[in-house]
Amino acid sequence: MYLKRIELHGFKSFADKVNVEFQPGITGIVGPNGCGKSNISDAVRWVLGEQSVKSLRGANMSDVIFAGSEDRRAQNLAEVTLVFDNSDRFMKYDYNEVEITRRLYRQNNEAEYLINKQQCRLKDIVDLIMDTGLGRDSLSIISQGNISSFADSKPEERRGIFEEAAGVSKYKKRKLESIRKLERTKENLERIGDIVAELEKQVGPLKRQKDKAEKYLALKDKLTAIEVNVLISEISEAKKTLDGLSKTMKDLNEQQVSLETDIQLKENSNDEIKKKMFSLDQQVNALQTKLLEAVSNVSKLETAKVEVDQKRKHALETLSKENLQENIANMKAILSDIVNEYNDRVERLENTEKELNEVIESQGNRNKRLAKLKEEIEYLASEINKNKSRKEILIDAVENKSNYHHGIKTVLSLAKSNKNIIGVLGDLISTKEGYELAISSALAGALEFIVTTDDLTARETIKFLRDNKAGRATFLPVSTMKPRDVREEHLMVSKTMEGYLGLASDFVSYDDKISSIVLNQLGNIIVAQNIDAANEISKATFSRYKIVSLDGDVVNVGGSLTGGSFNRRKSSLVQKRELEEVAITLENQEKEYAIKRNEYNVLDNEIKEVSHALLQKQMAYAKLEVVVQGKREELIKAKSEYESLSDQNIELEDFASGKTESKLINQLNEAIKYRDNLTEEIKSKRELRMSYVNQNEALDVELRECRKDLKDIQNEVNSSAIKATKLETMLNNHLTRLNDEYRMTYEYAVEQYQEEIDVEQAKLEVYELRTKITRLGNVNVDAIEEYKTVSERFENMNRQRIDLIQAQDSILEAIREMDEIMVERFSNTFEKINLEFNTVFRSLFGGGKAKIKYTDPTNILETGIDIDVQPPGKAVQNITLFSGGEKALIAISCLFAILRVRPIPMCILDEVEAALDIANVERFAKYLKEFSGTTQFIVVTHREGTMEECDLLYGATMQQKGVTKLVSVKLEEAIDLSDPS
């Protein structure tokens, strides 16, 4: 192996790129002082890893970069590459040629290292050249300063060059690394030992806690399984019972409403009947007065008619045949009276029949109307009951807050005594009609957020909820909430979009003191007509705002969509609006129900009255039929008699044309008719009154029964309500317990745990398990995981401790082995060098004797090296007393002795012979020539004797101030050219 080439660019005085070619043998670099020839040895030392700026003759590392001159600008980069011929693989690198490069940048003072143009670390370069004889501290680079300091160095400082020669540097380096590793191992072992001891103290107690916790968890799991089943069973039973009670109460409420309605109607009917009875009594009294007058009048007329009939009969009896005509006339008059009476009765019968048909038709119409009213009333009653139930549910939700979570109810109960708790946001705002779903979607869960005056109240209330395990709630402090809005440019764009309706805050009304809350929650939310319009507005505003439609669909920030059917039961705003609508609807239905019920009662009474009138008409018609039949027979008989008398042609003018009798009969007929009508009317009204009396008595009986039934139903309703309240309380307690203690919903518990159990037996097991859990006392459930973690860490640390002990033993064994190797190699090399040193010394000094010796033979690894020399004719014992030239020659003698024992591939000698006289220089040069076959020498010199022995000379010059140039001369070629032959 030898150095083929050095490439320099920007290093010290080498401003331009310079390639310095070398060959095996001796290469000399000559030139005047200050021309930069020593910069070549500095460059080699720098590439091989020199980090000492002082050794490179600078103040800081950037001083190796060309600093510029009068004619040249400074360089920003220094780069040096050493190219070695590695054909013999002396360097443990599988390439025939090895390039080692180092760069330094002025800007950030960063360095780069490369091997064969591949970036690497400085350590990689050091490892590559280790044990090759190269290196910044090896024999490969020796300067005038090294030579002069060799003799004056302390024995311990002189040892390094012998270690390099013995090849123990790598072992020493490895030993130092092993010692540092051993120290770190000891430190880690101590630290891990402390940790293991501490963990060992924790493992025992944690294991006991872990066993206790596992027992607790086993009991707890068993308790959970049993108690959750008990809770499921009781909840299921409670729900089933509640459903039954709910259905029963619904039926009872319907019955109660129906009874109350019936009682009211019956009371109204009773009052109407009493009024009618009073009116009938007055009418009957008036009719009786009229009847007395009519009876008296009929009596008078009948008396008058009897007198007339007697006179007529007397006349007929006393008349002779000659007066037959008078008898005929009388008979004619009688017949005429009978005809008039018959016609009158027929007419009355026809009129009665017509009136009867009219009453029957009217009654049929009334019955149809009554049936229709009954259907309408029943439908209204059903709707009223439904709306009453819905109203009660809504009142319970809106006013009693039944839909709110436990935490919110707790806070609202606190609000009664704390004026700083304003209320639930959903209760503090009201919406414009038609915007309930939009605002509900806009606020979502915020509808149930609690508004407070300040954040202190919110924090105190949260602490109260936590301390009392009373649930959770979200708070909106007025003092800290800031309004939010839509940016002006986005608002202008939105207003131009089809379907834009406004901002959500525009459609609610609220107290000014919570305006910051409302604007914070709704000020930056847009309301659109439908989901399509909302989506377009979202795109136009880059999906930066939440947009809701009137149907409750949402386009969220970022563009995601939420929609579908809306759960109206969950929105207090929708429930409030629905409560208002139900209340108005119920009021209108109750009014309509009252009107229809009154109309029904009136119509029913009319039907009853008409029924009585119809009965009277039917009876009157039947009586008239009998009377008409009698009058018809009487007429037939009278007509027969008249026909027999008419043949006799007797004319009784006095009676035949008697206007008095005919008028009397007509008056009598009219009086009888009037009397009969009065009699029938009085009879009818009395019968009607009697029916009213019967109805009144029946209604009283019915009212008493209804009131009794109503009281019974009310008692049942109250009893059922109490039972339902108790069951609901128990149900809520069980559900809360499921949620708080077991973190389960009822549905999840049913799905995961439900099984058939004996509830009473299970309760006994629950009691026993709770007793066992209580006896365990305080349990640290985290101990299971802590024990696992600590025990795993303890085992891991213990394994690490064992590994470290083994590693420590391995390191100690390795150090011991390295010590043995170093002692052996150093001793052998030392003995060889000692022998060669005496031989070389005698050759260079022309006699005398020299040797090296240990300062501490008992400690070969650390002993210093003393030099004991005696030039010919001198008896100097202390090497420091020699002259400078003698010291240099002693050092050179030692150098050559080492090279005899441990040849190195390359050696740079920087003016090492400067202190020698001419004779010694020649000896030095000749001796150098002897080694040039095995070692490549690069000699920086200005001594002629050395130059003569060089195979290749480079002349260093500065043609341009501050910039080094090299000129090469091969001496063999020069000699051939100068030989005259």
Mean pLDDT value across residues 553-561: 86
Please, where are the H alpha helices in 121-168?
122-129, 144-152, 155-166
Q: Where are the domains of the chain?
A: 1-138+915-923+938-980
Residue with tokens 């609690």: 450
Which H helix or E strand runs over 368? Answer: helix 324-398
Is the pLDDT reported for residue 549 higher than 50? yes
* Residue that wins the pLDDT comparison between 480 and 297: 480
**pLDDT score recorded for residue 571:** 60
Q: Is 38 annotated as a binding residue?
A: yes
**pLDDT score recorded for residue 91:** 84
Percent of the chain with pLDDT over 90: 5
- CA-nearest of 246, 233, 236 to 725 is 246
**Cβ-proximal residues to 370 (8 Å cutoff; 6+ apart), any chain:** 600, 603, 604, 607
Q: Is 33 annotated as a binding residue?
A: yes
- What does the block give as tokens for 756? 């058939």
What are the tens digits of pLDDT across the range 575-626?
667 777 777 887 887 787 788 777 777 777 777 776 666 666 667 666 766 7
Is the pLDDT reported for residue 114 higher than 90? yes
Half-sphere exposure in the Cβ direction for 696 (13 Å, CA): 15
Is the pLDDT reported for residue 401 higher than 80? no
Mean pLDDT value across residues 849-871: 85
Q: Identify the three-state secondary structure at position 331.
A: helix
Which H helix or E strand runs over 47? Answer: helix 38-47
Mean pLDDT value across residues 497-520: 90
pLDDT bin (cut points 50, 70, 90) of residue 890 is confident
Mean pLDDT value across residues 738-747: 72
CA distance 218 to 210: 12
Q: Is 49 annotated as a binding residue?
A: no
**Cβ-proximal residues to 167 (8 Å cutoff; 6+ apart), any chain:** 131, 825, 829, 902
Mean pLDDT value across residues 838-864: 84
Indicate the length of the chain as a whole number: 981
* Residue that wins the pLDDT comparison between 620 and 468: 468
CA distance 707 to 710: 5
Mean pLDDT value across residues 8-20: 88
Q: Is 847 annotated as a binding residue?
A: no
Give percent helix, percent strand, percent coil of the chain, each to the nearest 5. 65, 10, 20
Is the pLDDT reported for residue 80 higher than 90? yes
pLDDT bin (cut points 50, 70, 90) of residue 655 is very low
Tell me the Ramachandran region of residue 964: left when phi exceeds 0, alpha when psi lies from -120 to 50, beta otherwise. Answer: beta
CATH number of the domain at 1-138+915-923+938-980, please?
Answer: 3.40.50.300
**pLDDT score recorded for residue 332:** 66
Is the pLDDT reported for residue 32 higher than 60? yes
Cα–Cα distances (Å) from 137 to 178, 226, 448, 944, in that order, read 21, 83, 82, 28
What are the tens digits of pLDDT across the range 404-421?
667 777 787 787 778 888
What 253-261 contacts at long range (C-beta under 8 Å, 24+ apart), as own/partner pairs, is 253/385, 253/388, 253/389, 253/717, 254/385, 255/709, 255/713, 256/710, 256/713, 256/714, 256/717, 257/381, 257/384, 257/385, 257/388, 258/381, 259/706, 259/709, 259/710, 259/713, 260/710, 261/381, 261/593, 261/597
Q: What residues form DSSP beta bridges with 940?
A: 29, 910
**pLDDT score recorded for residue 649:** 43
pLDDT bin (cut points 50, 70, 90) of residue 525 is very high
* Residue that wins the pLDDT comparison between 609 and 798: 798
On whether the CB atoms of residues 909 and 139 are closer than 8 A, the answer is: no
Q: Is 37 annotated as a binding residue?
A: yes
Backbone angles phi, psi at 644, to 5 degrees: -70, -35
Least confident range from 567-581, 733-747, 814-828, 842-856: namely 567-581
Mean pLDDT value across residues 812-826: 85
Tell me the Ramachandran region of residue 434: left when phi exceeds 0, alpha when psi lies from -120 to 50, beta otherwise. Answer: left
CA distance 77 to 10: 6
**pLDDT score recorded for residue 107:** 82
Q: Which range has highest mean pLDDT (390-399, 671-680, 918-927)?
A: 918-927
Is the pLDDT reported for residue 815 higher than 80? yes
Q: Is 32 annotated as a binding residue?
A: yes
Q: What residues form DSSP beta bridges with 287?
A: none
CA distance 192 to 212: 29
CA distance 720 to 245: 6
Q: Positive or negative CA dihedral for 489, 493, 496, 501?
A: negative
Mean pLDDT value across residues 212-231: 80
pLDDT bin (cut points 50, 70, 90) of residue 657 is very low
Amino acid sitting at position 642: Y
